[in-house]
């Protein structure tokens, strides 16, 4: 099968899922073409059957803003013509599904199929804006097949856009051989002394990720315990977070590591992963932490409730429940055997329920159904 993969090239979950899926499909012998504005963040080495096509963005004085969606549609059409694609898989509704539909119509609609995967903010933040609502609804309904990464996101999509289109839930996944616990703790020496507890947060530092709450929780814990905080990622709330840390006098206890491509080398450094987002459609970073044998404290709003069972393989708290998160983490600091049990259950959940191979099988079935 020849598949065009359309995604964002950034560190966000949608781009990571698309890249990991595409790489696995290529390993199975399918021909996968990534079409985006830059090399996806985890497309970091040569793989047979895997190709990249850059979308060139042109400027013109009459355009106040560059129409990327049109450049993307034209590039998709070019790749369809040149490589005979069977399926265009758009990750994110707008603009990717919109551009995929336009490319399909410019070609011959009966010769290529479109699959759209909804990832979260394309529905909850972008798609519901009045300026995007109708084009988002149209793009979903005109896709040959639509998937969502959680039951929660499917229901949110139905609530906002109606039930005219069937949506299949295929949860996000993790390569549990790649994301696995470290055998020892010596790798964390640059960040924490022996006996210090390491708390970690990793995200794209958008407002929805609620990084200020991470720092508030850490500040409360630091007053009582020997704790260090690792902040992984980059984005619009990074500079305010750094200023908040300096103002609180925590600069020596917090390490900002920036955007990291090889998160599997960093997550196992943590004793606990904190993700108090305003909502998460799935929570891929939390799943990767669980696969690395790290306990998680995550938001109870969104798809994380489908992954985490409170008190068993992790902990759920409201995004603004600073007191609750502090007490949960303090309890684990004082009961290492309980933390060990949670870590084991977290790893087991990732391995047994969110494996890579099963997800790839399900996406292949979606492609085959779309092709008829």
Domain with 87, as residue range(s), is: 2-173+355-371
Distance from chain centroid for Cα 164: 27
Rounded distance between C-alpha atoms, residue 154 and residue 157, angstroms:
5
Flag whether 192 is in a domain.
yes
State whether 360 and 344 are in the same domain. no
Among 13-22, 117-126, 186-195, which range has the highest average pLDDT? Answer: 13-22
Q: What is the pLDDT of residues 207-241, one digit of tens each?
A: 999 999 999 999 999 999 999 999 999 999 999 99
Flag whether 178 is in a domain.
no
State whether 349 and 359 are in the same domain. no
Rounded distance between C-alpha atoms, residue 134 and residue 221, angstroms:
46
Flag whether 198 is in a domain.
yes
Flag whether 181 is in a domain.
no
Flag whether 180 is in a domain.
no
Put simply, whether the predicted model's pTM sits higher than 0.75 gets the answer: yes
Hey, what are 348's tokens? 């087991």
Rounded distance between C-alpha atoms, residue 232 and residue 174, angstroms:
19
State whether 98 and 205 are in the same domain. no
State whether 169 and 215 are in the same domain. no
State whether 98 and 241 are in the same domain. no
Beta strands of the chain (E only): which ranges?
Answer: 2-6, 31-36, 50-54, 87-91, 113-118, 145-148, 167-169, 197-203, 227-233, 254-258, 272-275, 295-299, 315-317
Distance from chain centroid for Cα 154: 16
State whether 123 and 156 are in the same domain. yes
Tokens 């990249």 — which residue?
52
State whether 337 and 279 are in the same domain. yes
- Domains in the chain: how many in total? 2
State whether 243 and 322 are in the same domain. yes
State whether 110 and 200 are in the same domain. no
β-sheet with 31-36: strand ranges across: 50-54, 31-36, 2-6, 87-91, 113-118, 145-148, 167-169
> Which helix (H) or strand (E) element contains residue 363?
helix 356-371
- Residue 184 is predicted with a pLDDT of 64
In which band, very low, low, confident or very high, does the pLDDT at 122 lie, cut at 50, 70 and 90?
Answer: confident
State whether 255 and 344 are in the same domain. yes
- Residue 29 is predicted with a pLDDT of 97
Tokens 């070019």 — which residue?
78
Looking at the predicted structure, is the pLDDT value of residue 126 above 90?
no
Flag whether 179 is in a domain.
no
Flag whether 31 is in a domain.
yes
State whether 243 and 224 are in the same domain. yes
State whether 163 and 212 are in the same domain. no
Could you tell me the CATH number of the domain that includes residue 140? 3.40.50.2000
Kindly provide the b/e burial profile for residues 181-190, where b requires at least 16 CB atoms within 10 angstroms of the residue's own CB.
Answer: eeeeeeebee
Flag whether 294 is in a domain.
yes
């Amino acid at each position: 099968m020849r598949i065009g993969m359309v995604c964002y090239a950034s560190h966000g979950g949608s781009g990571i899922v698309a890249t990991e899926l595409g790489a696995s499909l290529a390993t199975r012998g399918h021909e996968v073409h990534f079409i985006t504005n830059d090399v996806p963040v985890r497309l970091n080495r040569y793989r047979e059957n895997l190709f990249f096509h850059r979308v060139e963005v042109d400027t013109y004085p009459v355009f106040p803003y560059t129409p990327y969606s049109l450049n993307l549609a034209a590039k998709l059409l070019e790749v369809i013509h040149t490589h005979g694609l069977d399926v265009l898989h758009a990750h994110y509704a707008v603009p990717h599904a919109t551009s995929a539909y336009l490319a399909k119509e410019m070609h011959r609609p009966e010769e290529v199929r479109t699959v759209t995967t909804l990832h979260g903010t394309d529905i909850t933040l972008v798609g519901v804006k009045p300026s995007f609502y109708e084009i988002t609804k149209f793009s979903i309904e005109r896709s040959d097949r639509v998937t969502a990464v959680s039951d929660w996101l499917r229901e949110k999509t139905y609530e906002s856009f109606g039930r005219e289109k069937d949506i299949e839930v295929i949860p996000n996944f993790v390569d549990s051989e790649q994301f696995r616990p470290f055998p020892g703790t010596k790798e964390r020496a640059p960040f924490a002394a022996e006996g210090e507890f390491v708390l970690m947060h990793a995200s794209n530092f958008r407002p929805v990720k609620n990084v200020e709450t991470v720092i508030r929780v850490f500040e409360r814990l630091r007053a009582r315990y020997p704790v260090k905080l690792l902040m992984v990622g980059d984005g619009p709330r990074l500079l305010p977070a750094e200023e908040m840390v300096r103002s609180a006098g925590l600069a020596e206890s917090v390490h900002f590591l920036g955007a990291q491509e090889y998160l599997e080398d960093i997550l196992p450094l943590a004793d606990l992963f904190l993700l108090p987002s305003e909502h998460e459609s799935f929570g891929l970073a939390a799943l990767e932490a669980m696969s690395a044998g790290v306990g998680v404290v995550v938001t109870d709003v969104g798809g994380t409730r489908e992954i985490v069972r409170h008190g068993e393989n992790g902990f759920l708290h409201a995004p603004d429940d600073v007191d609750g998160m502090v007490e949960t983490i303090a309890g684990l600091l004082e009961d290492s055997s309980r933390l060990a049990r949670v870590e084991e259950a977290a790893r087991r959940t990732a391995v047994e329920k969110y494996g890579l191979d099963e997800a790839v099988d399900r996406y292949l079935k979606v492609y085959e159904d779309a092709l008829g």
